[in-house]
Structure 1
Amino acid sequence: MTQPDWAVVTASPVAGEYFPYVDTDYQEANRGQFHFSSRSGWMNDPNGLLYYRGTYHLYYQHNPYGLAWDTMHWGHATSPDLIHWRQQPIALDPRIHPGDLWSGGGVVDTRDTSGLKDGSHDPIVVFSGTQGVRMLYSLDGGSTFTAYDDGRVVAQPSGTESRDPKVCWHEQSGRWVMVVWSDAGGNGVDFFVSADLRDWERVSRFAAGWLFECPDFTPMALDGDVTYVLRDARGSYLVGDFDGREFRTSWSEPCTITRNTGGAGSDYYAAQSFENLPDDRVVTLAWQGGNRGSIWTGNASFPVQQRLVSTPDGPRLFSEPIDEIRLLRSSTTKWGPVELSPDTARDLLSAEAADTYELEATFDLSASQATAFSFRLGTATDARSVRYDLGSAQLDGYDLPVAPDGTLSLRLLVDRGQLDIFATDGAFYECLNVDFEGAGHGLQLVTDGPLMLKSLTLHQLGSIWDDGLPA
């Protein structure tokens, strides 16, 4: 691999000690201040997301030696709160661990079903590999990993190509369940079950042309019952039932988690849910491939909590920022209720110098004379805007009708290289890389007619790198 000048390379990597990163204050141009990015090097898919004894673990696809995809390692970061992250030594290294260390999932074996426990720690078990799944385990809380049985394949998917195993616990059958993407007869996932994480039986296949790469399979509550959500790398998903061996759904077409969809390297790809969360939340992270700077490429999306909601069109996934975002709020300013003219709207936020912030707004549009309004995110004339068009009922170019009572609620997260747009309690979610460099540290509300603002709250957000966590 070509090694740039900033790469620090040791001749003999040692598991749990290899830290090929230069010093940084995380203040490089375009570096997100509350969206995780690797200290240096290339980052893509999040892997093995899990919680263990007070610590959240984020593993991720990683080339520590350059700014483009190359021989994959598993990078590693930890957090006490899902917000502040500390870069850790490389978790999986191809010079130490066998197989292609591509995307995969991880679990905490709290029941010691694997029989691997040796000491005070529960085994943390991760799965990776292409054209066959390999298992690796940690007995020190997720810092170092050993290949199980010298790296033998523990699950062999159908087809000629396969990758991206993801594992969860199926409470009803008392078994582990694995989904793996493969190309057998076209796109789809193979389902495997296991009692011990070591020996897997292939029990069924769910095929769909849209279902490509990085599957995630998640039990979720819906109206008091447990149902299952099957999703792919682009955030397309189905809701259905799982009997411990086979997934069934009445849906003929998938829905999508984000309004903006794309392929690998886009603004939202390869999202994965955390395992073993203490409060049974469903929290996911995705890869955002459009962010890059002097020593890093790619970042993780801001963590969102997801829930299934019954709607007139059927169950749908709603996504909202995790509650822990409050830990970053350094100051808060509120406005409203107030009826705004174009002039008073323009002046409303003129005194606010905002760089990284969270904006919450609710409008009463039931009798609005405005035909469109927008938040301009910066003082530059060409700054990015988030616009709602009342005539077409579209937010940022995507369909979004107002609520039955005529209100529209918006929530924006604005970082130096990222923009997250939420609306109507999470029914609308757009996850974007936006380069705000040169946009100016300000914002403006623009309307073409009288507009009733019920409430507006601006939270200035601090940096996840500010509290001394990153070494």
Structure 2
Amino acid sequence: MYDEDNRGQFHFSPRSGWMNDPNGLLHYRGTYHFYFQHAPDSLVWDTMHWGHATSPDLVHWQQQANALEPATHPGDLWSGGGVVDGRNTSGLKDGDHDPILVFSGTQGVRMFYSLDGGMTFSAYDEGRIIAQPSGQESRDPKVVWHEPSQTWAMVVWSNDNGNGADFFVSPDLRTWERTSRYVTDWFFECPDFTPMPLDGEVVWVLRDARGSYVVGDFDGREFRTDWTEPRTITANPGGAAGHYYAAQSFDNMPDGRVVTMAWQGLNHGKVWTGNASFPVQQRLVATPDGPRVFSEPVDELASLRQSTTTRGPELLETQLEPLAGTTYELEATFDLSEASTGSFTFRLRSTREVTYDIGAGLLDGVPVPPAADGSLTIRLLVDRGQLAVFAADGAYYACYNIDFTADDSIELTTTVPLPLKSLTLHQLASIW
């Protein structure tokens, strides 16, 4: 069933049924846990469960039994976050494993805990509400450790006086105090809240389901930012069930990386609907326009590389000798230092074009200037139903579901002679 023509071969999708938002992403003792919104017996959104998949490397995923089920876990099992309580602040530890706690619920937050490494969960205190957000509607709790205050923080979307985020604080993950609210029209659903280094200091990135984000300070009780408008993680932001939605970062990463995965809702087959985006590692970079989140594929992608083709350096006159592939990674670096007009285009499987306008400095219509030396690198991840585009060391990131044809052609054309410094094509193996 994993070999349907349009099922991604290195993007996770459920064996069967519907999936949407990533939930409770975390790392524990060498295993990455990816929980997700799941309707196992439906091809459309239905009664929510928490599906579960595990991986040793963020790339090869194995689906496990559902982690949360409505028959045994109370409340609406909608989106939420998860943490590893390695300090046992909750006092729930009983045995060798650290407690793993996940949070869910609408119009009130409920907690579920695991004492077997994240495989099975029990409802805390019979599923009572442990945190009550403001407003008539609320959902999608995300929990993170705040190192300076040695406490836990929770952010929850709610509609009190418009869209916004309620902030809570807790010493033990069981008792929560609501401390502040950040109100802004753009902020809707599925918050992610992440500390990230910038110029030797730690700042906080608050983002919503569409990938809109602002950068600010968090003192353990209140989030503040001087940004008046958000930026977006991807160059193609959209809504639910689109190309990229509800990205969440992993908790308890062993190497300190910020790694996120999102829901892509436009890929489906005979027995399944939806897939996860390929995981990206993110960093905050100081730019002339202010701090920006840069995104690149996780380094573990290299484990999928099979045969490799290289080209360059050479002068690209009009068209590169055709290449072929259906699931692959392609990276090309161009020298634009002497070029002032024209464009070059990748045409992928006779279905999708990716174009850079040299004179305007636009990649598919988005400003992406070359590096100081005039070079520009573009990196493509192409799967059976997915396309990710990266450029300029991760300053540009776009994430798509694409209904590719069966054609395996890869074409690179230019309207002006252009130095191609290098091109590398890696055919990628299936994770299944």
Q: Does TM-score exceed 0.5, indicating one fold?
A: yes
Aligned match for 1:444, one of 400, 408, 411:
411
- Quick one: distance in 2 between partners of 1:309 and 1:392? 24
- Name the structure 1 match of 2:427: 460
- Name the structure 2 match of 1:468: none
Task: For residue 425 of structure 1, give the secondary structure of its aligned residue in structure 2.
Answer: helix
- Name the structure 1 match of 2:303: 327
- Name the structure 2 match of 1:198: 174
- Quick one: distance in 2 between partners of 1:322 and 1:180? 28
- Quick one: distance in 1 between partners of 2:281 and 2:320? 33
- Name the structure 1 match of 2:190: 214
- State the aligned residue count: 432
Q: Which has the higher strand share?
A: 2
- Quick one: distance in 1 between partners of 2:417 and 2:178? 61
Task: For residue 265 of structure 1, give the secondary structure of its aligned residue in structure 2.
Answer: coil
Task: For residue 73 of structure 2, give the secondary structure of its aligned residue in structure 1.
Answer: coil
Contact 2:335/2:376 (8 A) holds in 1: yes
Task: For residue 190 of structure 1, give the secondary structure of its aligned residue in structure 2.
Answer: strand
Contact 1:369/1:449 (8 A) holds in 2: no
Question: Shift of the alpha carbon at 1:63?
Answer: 0.3
* Residues 334-382 of structure 1: CA deviation (Å, up to 9, x unaligned): 111111111xx342xx2x331100011110112127601111112x3xx
Determine if the alignment matches structure 1 residue 44 to structure 2 residue 44.
Answer: no
- Quick one: distance in 1 between partners of 2:79 and 2:5? 29
- Residues 332-351 of structure 1 mapped to structure 2, 5 A cutoff: 332-342=308-318, 345-347=319-321, 350=322
- Residues 135-284 of structure 1 mapped to structure 2, 5 A cutoff: 135-284=111-260
Contact 1:45/1:271 (8 A) holds in 2: yes
Aligned match for 2:102, one of 99, 114, 126:
126
Task: For residue 242 of structure 2, give the secondary structure of its aligned residue in structure 1.
Answer: coil
Aligned match for 1:113, one of 61, 86, 89:
89
- Quick one: distance in 1 between partners of 2:9 and 2:298? 16
Contact 2:294/2:395 (8 A) holds in 1: yes
Determine if the alignment matches structure 1 residue 359 to structure 2 residue 330.
Answer: yes
AA aligned to 1:308 is L
- Quick one: distance in 2 between partners of 1:285 and 1:37? 12
* Residues 432-456 of structure 1: CA deviation (Å, up to 9, x unaligned): 0011133x11201111121110111
Task: For residue 11 of structure 2, give the secondary structure of its aligned residue in structure 1.
Answer: coil
- Quick one: distance in 2 between partners of 1:434 and 1:71? 27
* Residues 248-281 of structure 1: CA deviation (Å, up to 9, x unaligned): 1111111110010111111000000000000010
AA aligned to 2:184 is A
Task: For residue 166 of structure 2, give the secondary structure of its aligned residue in structure 1.
Answer: strand
Contact 2:217/2:223 (8 A) holds in 1: yes
Aligned match for 1:83, one of 59, 70, 74:
59
Contact 1:372/1:390 (8 A) holds in 2: yes
- Quick one: distance in 2 between partners of 1:239 and 1:368? 36
- Name the structure 1 match of 2:363: 395
Contact 2:340/2:359 (8 A) holds in 1: no
Aligned match for 2:343, one of 355, 372, 378:
372
AA aligned to 2:401 is N
Q: Is there any run of 5+ residues in structure 2 with no aligned partner, and where? A: none
- 1:369–1:171 CA distance, 2 compared to 1 (3 A): closer
Q: Is there any run of 5+ residues in structure 1 with no aligned partner, and where? A: 1-23, 466-471
AA aligned to 2:414 is T
AA aligned to 1:216 is D
- Name the structure 1 match of 2:288: 312
Question: Shift of the alpha carbon at 1:121?
Answer: 0.6
Task: For residue 237 of structure 1, give the secondary structure of its aligned residue in structure 2.
Answer: strand
Instruction: Supply the RMSD in Å over aligned alpha carbons.
Output: 0.9
Task: For residue 130 of structure 2, give the secondary structure of its aligned residue in structure 1.
Answer: strand
Moved over 4 A (4+): none
- Quick one: distance in 1 between partners of 2:197 and 2:264? 28
Question: Shift of the alpha carbon at 1:402?
Answer: 2.0
AA aligned to 1:158 is S
* Residues 146-185 of structure 1: CA deviation (Å, up to 9, x unaligned): 0000000000000000000000000000000000000000
- Quick one: distance in 2 between partners of 1:185 and 1:122? 39
AA aligned to 2:382 is V
- Quick one: distance in 2 between partners of 1:250 and 1:448? 43
- 1:174–1:416 CA distance, 2 compared to 1 (3 A): same
Question: Shift of the alpha carbon at 1:407?
Answer: 1.5
Task: For residue 399 of structure 2, give the secondary structure of its aligned residue in structure 1.
Answer: strand
Question: Shift of the alpha carbon at 1:31?
Answer: 0.1
AA aligned to 1:311 is T
Task: For residue 126 of structure 1, give the secondary structure of its aligned residue in structure 2.
Answer: strand
- Name the structure 2 match of 1:384: 352
TM-score (norm 1): 0.91
Bigger drift between 318-327 and 449-458 goes to 449-458
Aligned match for 1:426, one of 389, 394, 400:
394
- Quick one: distance in 1 between partners of 2:42 and 2:78? 17
- Name the structure 2 match of 1:411: 379
- Quick one: distance in 1 between partners of 2:58 and 2:165? 29
Task: For residue 401 of structure 1, give the secondary structure of its aligned residue in structure 2.
Answer: coil
- Quick one: distance in 1 between partners of 2:305 and 2:60? 13
* Residues 67-109 of structure 1: CA deviation (Å, up to 9, x unaligned): 1000000000000000000010011000110000000000000
Contact 1:29/1:437 (8 A) holds in 2: no
Question: Shift of the alpha carbon at 1:404?
Answer: 2.6
